[in-house]
Every structure is written in C-alpha cells, then in structure tokens.
Structure 1
Amino acid sequence: MMPLVKTIPPHPCSPILVSIKMLRAQMIVLNKVAVFENSPLVPHLFSDIKSVKQIKQGFPSGSNAFFDWESNQPVPPEPKETIGEVVPKVPKNGNTLNGSRGQKNHQDRDNDYTEEGRRNKHPAVYVEEPEPTEMFDKVLLFQPTVTSVSRAPHEAAASQNGGNEKTQKNGRSKGSTGKTTRSRKHVNKEIVDLSTLLTQCAQSVAGNDQMTTTELLKQIRQHSSPYGDGTERMAYYFANALEARLANQTPLYMPVASNEYSTAEILKGYQVYISASPFKGMSDFYANRTILKVAEKAKRLHIIDFGILYGFQWPCLIQCLSVRPGGPPKLHITGIEFPQPGFRPAERVEETGRRLENYCKRFNVPFEYNVIAKKWETIRLEDLKIDRDGLIIVNCMFRLKNIPDEMVAMNSPRDIVLKLIKRINPEIFIHGVVNGSYNTPFFLSRFKEALYHFSSLFDMFDATVPREDQHRMSYEKAVLGRDAMNVIACEGLERAERPETYKQWQARNLRAGFRQLPLNLELFNEAKRRVKLDFNKNFVIDKDGQWMLQGWKGRIIHALSCWKPTQE
C-alpha cells in the first residue's frame, strides 16, 4: 500500500501562482476595455423610440403614446419608470443621430466645407430595411378620421398633451423680447440662479480663467441635470459646451444626418417634435397651401427644395395635387442637400426621391426627381434642369442658417445662394427662418443670446412633454444639446449654427434683389386658429409686416414669408 502524500499549497509568491494572477488581471483589464469601447457614450436621438401618437399599425405594440390622433383625445400614459432607470437605448458603436461619436462629439459638421473633414473616418453605411408604409401614411398624409378632412397630422400636429396642466402660472412673459425669467432653484435652502452662474462661467472661459471656470462649473453641475426641469437641463448642456470650449475641443457638426439610421427611426423622432410644438407643422401648412394656390392651373410644377433631407413636407402636397380639378400637374422636385460624408454623398437624398416617387405612383401624379448634393454656393443654374415652360417654386425651410456668411468668407456663400435663387426666377420663393441673434463673432454676446433662445426651447418642452419622457430627453440631448455645443464651443468654419433674425433676413433678401409678397391672411388666420385649438396656450402665432411669426411666451422662434425676384 502506497503511503499518503500530503499536498502542500503553492507559496503566494511562487512563479506559477504569480503567473496565474497576472493572467487573470490582464483578462479583467481586457474585458473592461471591451465593455468601454462598446458602450454607447452618446445615445442616438431616434434609437428605440416609440411613437408619440397612437399608431395601431406600423409601430411596435405597446407604444408609449400620449395622444390618440384618430379620436383627438388624450391617451393615459403607461406607468413611467423612475428617472434613474430611464436610459435611452443606443447602437453599439455609440454614434449619435448625425454620426458623431463619444461625448466629445456632441456636434457634427458639414465636412465638405473643410479639408480636415475629408480625413475623418466615416461610419458604416446603414442597410435600409423596407419602410413601413402605413406608419409613414399615418404621419405624412391627410387622414379622413381627423376633425377636418383637409387636416394632415404633420400639419395639425398633436393636442396639448395635457400641457395646460403643466403651463407655468405666470403665463406669457411680458415684453417684445420674450426673454424668460431666470430660474431660481431652492436646494438645501440655497437660492441658485443658474442663468447668472452660466453667464459668469462664460466670462471666465472668455478670459481663460481655468480656476474660476472649474469652480463655477462645479456649482452648475451640482444644480443641473438632464432629468430636471427645463432650466436645469439647459444648464447641463451649456456646461458641457463651456467645458468643451475651455478644453479647446471643436466637436464636428454636420447639418445632414448620416445614413446610419433608417428614415423610419427618424420619423419617430419627427413625431415627438411636431407633437410638442406647432413650429414645423404650421410652417409646412402655410407653404403647401401657398404652393397649391399658386400652381392651381399649372400643367408642370417644378419645386426646388433647398434642404429637402427626408422630404417629409411633400407627401401631403402630392396627395392634394392628385385630387386637383382638371387632374394633377407633372411634378418635378429638385432635392438639394449638403453632401454626406463617405463614398455616397447623395444617398440619403436619393432615398428621399424614391419615397416621393412611390407616393406619386400611388396617387397617379406624374413625377420627376433631381438630386443635388454639394456645397450650395457651388451649384450652377444648369444643375437645376429648369423647364421654363413650367411653374417654378423655390422652397427653403430653416436651412440657410447653416450656410457660411460674410464673417467667414469674403464672398458670402449665403448671398451667393440667394443670387442663385434670383437667377432661377421662381414664381415664388418660400423662406422659413430660425429667428436667432446668436450669430455674432463676439463670444460673450453670442452666449447670452443663445442662453435666451435655448431657455425658451427647453421651457417649451418642460410645459408640453413629461420630464421623465425618454423621447424628450433623447431629443434634447441629440438636437438642442448638439446645437448649443456648436454655438458655444466652435468658431470659424466649425460653427455651422449661424441664425439671423427675420429682420436681418429681410434686409439680406432685399439686397439680393427680391420683393416681399403680401401675407396670405386667410392661411395665417387658419394657422392661428389651429395653434390656439391644438397646442399649449403659451405658443404664439403673430405677424409683423409680411412675416408669419411663431414663438413661445412672446419670444419669436420661427418666421416665414414669401418672396419674388424683382424685374430688372
């Protein structure tokens, strides 16, 4: 019988045990690195977002809708998760709506304006799945079950969504400037004025005072949050932008969304926006009705759309043209956009053309589509394939703000585009603008104006959409936070958000050789009636001269007017 052998455990410092410990440590580090690389730093705006309208077909079941569009009645919301559990789902690569990657890239940039942009790596091309037709129809076409048969969901938008209960007691602020009152939050009996703290922080950033900036940012961080009220959320994103500017970071910004996400996903986010505010819906309503009136007897209609992107404005028009007395005209749309980065700069705009072609086939409207994806100031008249025997209309909704102006180029690209439109000689030029004063080259002045402008937008969402709503948080992060980052952190060509006031645009249009057409009071009054009927009482729609103005609590956010080239 063999003697028992006593097993002696290895010494803690033995070579074998040390090697095993080192191997385990390396595996842990590698696992952490893999998790970090695959973790989404900036959630995509439209990832895994449910519809805000009660769509019975085409959307996933269990939609967290808060308004039934067919019955025009509020739908009780599903039980909300706690704020701490509300985390938007995102793609594994961590890309935002416009292809930016990581927290440092809150913005994208139209890289075609800089040589540096050509050296950037671009995300893989999104493989587009078949679009759910019924979902698009619910949002973009006239619905006979709505109160008025002539009322489309994307024009009438949604109801107040319980907004009256959330409306601030003080109602509309006084004064023509509409500057919102600075928020004072009671935290541990301490009065915190976030607007003042942000302004002081911007002053220290301008003076490159890192010590003071760090201390002020610390205070702002303590009282701001992406889950708080409107002012707290705005302060959170403005603090991010100030921090990026102090660190000399210039996040990329691109006015065109990348093709990494499907248009169906984009449409869901579009619904969130149009249900919260009337700005887009009423602008499209006025523009489309104007086109129908002007082209009442036209046999051929050519619409040149500067900034067409997904073309959500046009399915309603196509549907209306199909029932026009005497039959529809031959519709020719030229879709103009900024080029996408990568090897297929016109892919998204070509996809828009295919979608519009399908609508024209369904409604028996003869259709032709032309794509232009290049820097707008480089477009030549012959690129537009103009048929002088047809009626020509130029449409541009809120996108000329992304064109560089005379502050960054000797020959202003903005004026070059307007002169091109004049050479087109359209029957009418429909011009929608974002009314903003934060295009000054002086940082502190620009910051203060941006503070007033974005405070209105965050306050608007706070009064119309529940704070814990995941869709609202995603939109604020990927759109409002992204734009604020570009305005505050970027300079020169990197700053693509360059809005002007509607009065500045009026002077610019007049210099370019246009005359302003009278405001259609019938359409204006109908839009005003719809806003009063369907939206929070703090939304305003007014007119100044021949401009239709839209705003929140007295502050004008959007403006629209129609123009015609002067005859020389």
Structure 2
Amino acid sequence: MDENVDQSKLPSNEVMLNLAFLTGMEEANKFLPRDDKLQAGAFTEGQAKEIVGRSGCGRGRKGRADGDKEEEVVGRASKLMVPELEEDGASELFDKMMLESYKLRFDAMDELEITMGNITAEKRNKRAARGKQGKREAVDLRGLLLSCAQEVSTGNRQGAGNLLKQIRAHASANGDAAQRLAHCFAEGLEARLAGTGSQVYKSLMAKHTSTMEFLKGYELYMAACSFRRVAFTFASMTIFDAVEGKRRLHIVDYGLHYGCQWPGLLCWLASREGGPPEVRITGVDLPQPGFRPAKRIEETGRALKNCARQFGLPFKFHAITAKWETIHAVDLNIDPEEVLVVNDLFNFNTLMDESLVIDRPSPRDVVLRNIQKMRPDLFIQGVVNGSSGPFFLARFREALFFYSSVFDMLEATTPPESYQRLVLERDMFGQCALNTVACEGADRVERPETYKQWQLRNQRAGLRQLPLKPIITKVATDKVKSLYHKDFVVDVDQGWLLQGWKGRILYAHSAWVVDDTSSDY
C-alpha cells in the first residue's frame, strides 16, 4: 500500500486490520521466521489489497524507509510475571511500555530471523556429527514422568522417588524442550510427593519478578508466539464492528492485570473517521495482598488514562477489586447509551468449578449468569483449551501434553540461552504447571475446560454465540502464516476461532450476546 494513501479513503475493516493484527508484536526482539509478503488476501470478492500500511498511530512495513521501523502493536501480560512498580523508575518504565507497546521494530525482527536461522543450522551440524560418532541412548522423559505420576497416584513413595531420581538425572532448566519440561514437572511431582505443593506454589506466587524481567519476558512472549496477538485481533475486530457509528463505548475487562491489550485499540479509536468515541474501561481484578489491594489496577488505570490523553481520546477508568462472582450489573453504572463490551482473556479457567461446590452454582456459572444480566452488546471470551478433572493421573497426563506443546513451541521460536525464555518457563508456565500437578482443593486454581464445555456453560447461562466472521478467520490465518512459525495452527470449529501448535488446540475465542429465547431465562 502506498504510504501516501489517505486512511479515511480505505475500507473501515482495512484500517482496523492495520492496527488490530499488528498488535502485540512490538519489542519483538526474538525468534520469528518472517515472510515479507504481508498480504491478507481479499476482504470482499474481487478485492485484494495489502493491509499493512499507515494507520492511526503507526506506519506500515511495506516500502519503509531506513528510519521508518515502527508499526501499530499492543500486547497484554495477563498471567505473566508481576513487576514490582515501587522499583526505582518502574512507574516511568511502565508508562513507556504502555505508550510504546504498539510499535514494531523491524530491525530487531531481522536480527531475530538471523539468530534462529543460525541456531537451526548449528543444530543440524550437531546432529550430523552425532550420527558419525554413533547414536546416543535416548531417554524417554515423558514416559518416565507418566510412570512417576502413576506411582504418586497409588501412593508408592519409594517407586516414585526412584523414578524422580532418574528424571532429575536427565532433566535441566537450561536443556532442550523435553529436558526443560521434565524439570518443570519434576518440581511439581516432588512437591506433591512431599505434601508441600500448596506452600511451594504460594511461595512462588509471593516472589516479585523485577520490572525489567517482566518487561523482557513480556517482549519475548509476544514475539515468540501468535497466541495473544490473535486474541487481541479477534477482540479488536469484534469491538470495531460493534462500536461503528456509535459515540460511546464501555469495556468491562475481567482480569485487567496491566491492561496492555488496550492502548492499540485506544489509538485506533482516537483516529477514527468522524471523531473518536467516548471510552470507559472498568477494570476488574482480584485484590492484591498487602495494605493496598487495588494498587496494581489503579496503576494500570493511571497508565491507560495517560495513553488516552496522549492520543486525544475522551477516556474514563473505573477499578473494581473483588471476587468476580460478587460483581453485578449494579456495580458497573451501566449506561444504555453506551456500547457495553464484557471481555475475558484466559482468566475464567481460574474460577472454581463444581468439584468444590455442593448444592449451589459454581463460581464460574455465577459469573456467566451475572454477565448475562448485564445484557452486554458483546461478551468476548478467550479460553485455555484443556481438561482438569478430579482424578490426578488423568489431569497430569492432560497437563503434560498441553505443556509439551508450549515448551516445544518455545524451543522452536526462542534461543536456548535466552534468559527471558527461562523466566517465562519458570514464572509463567512453570507456576501454572506446578499448581496443576502439586495442589488440590481450593489451592488448585488452574482448572481449564475445553471450549466445547465452555460453550455449553455459556448457553446454560442464557448467552447466544455469534457466528464467527470469515474476515477475522482469514486475517488471523494469513497473518500467522506470514509472520510466525509454520507450526502455529489457526482453525475454526462450531463458531470458535482456535489456536494451537502442531495440531494440538491450546486456546479458543468466541463472541456472545444475550439469548432472549433461552428457556432458562
């Protein structure tokens, strides 16, 4: 696309796509194979245009000059590490992250491509050298982990301990994907065997990852995989359609965390043809430990207000810190003149399910029914696609396969010596895996369900699923293919946009409205 094209002359979907699918790619310092042919294909019959161009607050890749190396992006650090904002300069750094998180550095991307290419070539040379010297004995670490879990489930402490020794002898936090996975799951098995799972998990959660580690880990995750980028695209494009021609927008975000999903959307709305809408975000989060339970969400609100002010966007922010099942429509000051959007991105899997509740609805069903009573114009949901039943061995097996895909993805897209990768595996995925393996009862907060189970839950709660727009599927598929590793998967099933790695579906996205024909309501 010609850089001099007036954005107001472009189709509205095309302008939005310039922003929406380039969200979250910034600060991409690592690991993405890239195709220079960034084309989304035809949006309508007979229309085939480049979608990466000048838009709102950024500049496209096509035809860039030497000094033109930034693009519209935004990211979100949900369930990533928690920085301590009282560090020297942390607040200023947080503002910088929010304001600049939608800029893409193509020089860094070029460097990453070269880095991963060199690593791949080095691995091929090492395999060839080993072939000449004779094959080393392979160790089936996943088989050992499953055998150890079997012994743990039957209470055979001696057998489990012996297997743990074998696993520990071959596992490594700095090894290949299988060794890193084994190290992670061995930690959980050891804690479960010792009966200290809850204490170990709480101690891990109480540790403060430094702000710099948080930011660098965030950068790496956004650069290495497409999962959140596709999630942001799905949400942004869906909200775009809902707010078109409207003057006021209210987003209720469950699990706001650091709010990094929203600066890119705010930037786009600020440059919307016909003037920006008034935007209100209600951030919902759990109270944090300490004397200031709302500290994190208040800091996020301040940073979002600063972003909106920089963009010239009318903006208000309201924070709610409470258990999510206690939040009702009356708490949100809902205005019928606003487009009301409720958003959840990969957070509801931490709500308690039926296994801990007797003779009353589970917290996740209560939350869904409360959302139905809010009567949103849109409920946008992203779920972790997994299974976590009451039986330990089945849950362990499911978690092992899920995280095998995650660690394999990181192996293919990130350098092995990257400290940021280690931080991700330790403080993001490692904590979740340990909680799944080592904790029980209310202490086990990781309780994913399949997207088909969530579909039934939502329907029971009086919600109706919206059809998946073909343009969203096409944009997601084309961009993942052109920007990310070939083994990322984008698919569609029963109105859900699915994401995965090498055929295994890990995440799913859908949009819902109130079903006024529901027999339950």
| TM, length-normalised to structure 1 | 0.71
- Separation (CA, whole Å) in 2 of partners of 1:404 and 1:532: 36
Q: Which residue of 2 aligns with 1:502?
A: 451
- Separation (CA, whole Å) in 1 of partners of 2:489 and 2:476: 11
Change (3 A) 1:401 1:417: same
Query: Residues 526-565 of structure 1 correspond to what in structure 2 (within 5 A)?
Result: 526-565=475-514
- Largest Rg, 1 or 2: 1
- 1:330 is displaced (CA, Å) by 1.1
2:461 to 502, 512, 527: 512
Change (3 A) 1:518 1:167: farther
Q: Which residue of 2 aligns with 1:458?
A: 407
| TM, length-normalised to structure 2 | 0.77
Matched, 1:381 2:329: yes
2:412 counterpart letter in structure 1:
A
2:257 counterpart letter in structure 1:
L
Query: Residues 196-275 of structure 1 correspond to what in structure 2 (within 5 A)?
Result: 196-251=143-198, 253=201, 260=208, 265-275=213-223
2:513 counterpart letter in structure 1:
K
Matched, 1:436 2:386: yes
1:560 counterpart letter in structure 2:
H
Per-residue CA shift, 1:144-169, capped at 9, x if unaligned? x879xxxxx9xx9997676577789x
Change (3 A) 1:128 1:165: closer
Contact 2:270 2:311 in 1 (8 A): yes
Q: Which residue of 2 aligns with 1:299?
A: 247
Query: Residues 36-55 of structure 1 correspond to what in structure 2 (within 5 A)?
Result: none
Contact 2:468 2:497 in 1 (8 A): yes
- 1:480 is displaced (CA, Å) by 1.4
Q: Which residue of 2 aligns with 1:318?
A: 266
Query: Residues 29-68 of structure 1 correspond to what in structure 2 (within 5 A)?
Result: none
2:101 counterpart letter in structure 1:
L
- Which secondary structure state, in structure 2, belongs to the residue aligned with residue 219 of structure 1? helix
Q: Which residue of 2 aligns with 1:288?
A: 236
- 1:136 is displaced (CA, Å) by 2.2
Matched, 1:470 2:431: no
Q: Which residue of 1 aligns with 2:285?
A: 337
Query: Residues 114-263 of structure 1 correspond to what in structure 2 (within 5 A)?
Result: 129-132=90-93, 135-136=96-97, 139-141=100-102, 189-251=136-198, 253=201, 260=208
Change (3 A) 1:363 1:204: same
> After the TM superposition, which of the residue ranges 529-538 and 123-132 deviates more from structure 2?
123-132
Contact 1:376 1:417 in 2 (8 A): yes
Cα RMSD between the aligned structures? 3.4
2:339 counterpart letter in structure 1:
L
Change (3 A) 1:130 1:544: same
1:414 counterpart letter in structure 2:
R
Change (3 A) 1:446 1:523: same
Q: Which residue of 2 aligns with 1:427?
A: 377
Contact 1:160 1:534 in 2 (8 A): no
Per-residue CA shift, 1:440-466, capped at 9, x if unaligned? 110000011111101000000011111
Contact 1:551 1:557 in 2 (8 A): yes
Per-residue CA shift, 1:538-559, capped at 9, x if unaligned? 0111111211111000000111
Contact 1:440 1:446 in 2 (8 A): yes
Contact 2:150 2:393 in 1 (8 A): yes
Change (3 A) 1:234 1:383: same
- 1:190 is displaced (CA, Å) by 3.4
- Which secondary structure state, in structure 2, belongs to the residue aligned with residue 190 of structure 1? coil
2:324 counterpart letter in structure 1:
W
1:234 counterpart letter in structure 2:
L
Contact 1:302 1:334 in 2 (8 A): yes
- 1:217 is displaced (CA, Å) by 0.6
Change (3 A) 1:265 1:366: farther
- Separation (CA, whole Å) in 1 of partners of 2:95 and 2:207: 22
- Separation (CA, whole Å) in 1 of partners of 2:85 and 2:267: 35
- Separation (CA, whole Å) in 1 of partners of 2:321 and 2:147: 42
Q: Which residue of 2 aligns with 1:416?
A: 366
Q: Which residue of 2 aligns with 1:399?
A: 347
- Separation (CA, whole Å) in 2 of partners of 1:357 and 1:54: 22
- Separation (CA, whole Å) in 1 of partners of 2:356 and 2:148: 27
- Which secondary structure state, in structure 1, belongs to the residue aligned with residue 221 of structure 2? helix
Change (3 A) 1:254 1:381: farther
Contact 1:160 1:535 in 2 (8 A): no
- Separation (CA, whole Å) in 2 of partners of 1:161 and 1:545: 39
Q: Which residue of 2 aligns with 1:352?
A: 300
Contact 2:168 2:183 in 1 (8 A): yes
- 1:215 is displaced (CA, Å) by 0.8
> After the TM superposition, which of the residue ranges 383-392 and 534-543 deviates more from structure 2?
383-392
* 4+ runs deviating over 4 angstroms: 52-55, 64-73, 96-99, 123-128, 156-168, 186-189, 252-265
